[in-house]
Chain A
Amino acid sequence: DVKVTQSSRYLVKRTGEKVFLECVQDMDHENMFWYRQDPGLGLRLIYFSYDVKMKEKGDIPEGYSVSREKKERFSLILESASTNQTSMYLCASSSALTGAGQPQHFGDGTRLSIL
């Protein structure tokens, strides 16, 4: 089974801090994604990466950056955390072998609170 591991289930940080959320997958997937999940809004794509050192902005990239130095690891960075970034963050990965029809595999999420 594919395993996507997010480093923290719960995280509390202060406004203005630089925050790192880490995600690791064990299936050699090319694609990795970061979403945030808010009640009534579903999942919104922040950034995704289709190869090492490659990234594309999603729908809500403002205030975030990402890093993919190794194929299995995709990091989300909040440059200067703000209270409106309090949310559930979900990481996912998928294979690129047969195109867009491959399902995404999700981690259990990190619930981030910014005080």
Chain B
Amino acid sequence: AQSVTQLDSQVPVFEEAPVELRCNYSSSVSVYLFWYVQYPNQGLQLLLKYLSGSTLVESINGFEAEFNKSQTSFHLRKPSVHISDTAEYFCAVTRRRALTFGSGTRLQVQP
């Protein structure tokens, strides 16, 4: 069965600093990987996804994630965060038609 581990429950960071949110998964089969973001009082929104091809995927708001098959990781990075990036971030892996989610990482960007 697939599982997802997000190693940090909270990540405080100052505005304009770089950030990395870590995600490791376990699966005996090939998977698709996703990062979702949840802003306060909202549902989840897709941030980026890895299906195949280039192992580095990017979102429209400056986040990127790299699929590393040997380390079974899909860490999310941003070189310079903004206050507006404050949210909870969830890593997810496919499981047949559904998804298995990690426990989430709360990113707190401070001025």
- The answer to whether A100 touches B45 (Cβ under 8 A) is no
Q: Which of B6, B36, B98 contacts A45 (CB 8 A)?
A: B98
- The answer to whether B96 touches A103 (Cβ under 8 A) is no
How many A residues touch B, CB cutoff 8 Å?
27
Q: Which of B4, B34, B104 contacts A103 (CB 8 A)?
A: B34
Q: Does A12 contact B (CB under 8 A)?
A: no
Q: Which of B43, B90, B101 contacts A107 (CB 8 A)?
A: B43
A81-108 interface (Cβ within 8 A of B): 90, 92, 94, 96, 100-101, 103-108
- The answer to whether B98 touches A42 (Cβ under 8 A) is no
- The answer to whether B90 touches A43 (Cβ under 8 A) is yes
Q: Does B41 contact A (CB under 8 A)?
A: yes
- The answer to whether A43 touches B97 (Cβ under 8 A) is no
Q: Which of A41, A100, A105 contacts B32 (CB 8 A)?
A: A100
Instruction: Tell me the complex Cα distance, A43–B98, Å.
Output: 12
Instruction: Tell me the complex Cα distance, A73–B42, Å.
Output: 20
Most buried by A among B94, B97, B99: B97
Q: Which of A42, A45, A103, A108 contacts B41 (CB 8 A)?
A: A108
Distance between A29 CB and nearest chain B CB, rounded to angstroms: 11
B89-111 interface (Cβ within 8 A of A): 90, 94, 96-104
Q: A104-B44, A107-B43 are in contact. List 19 more A-B contacts (CB 8 A).
A: A4-B43, A31-B97, A33-B98, A40-B103, A40-B104, A42-B103, A42-B104, A45-B99, A90-B44, A92-B44, A100-B32, A101-B32, A101-B49, A101-B51, A103-B34, A104-B46, A106-B45, A108-B41, A109-B42
Binding site for A on B (CB under 8 A): 4, 6, 9, 32, 34, 36, 41-46, 49, 51, 90, 94, 96-104
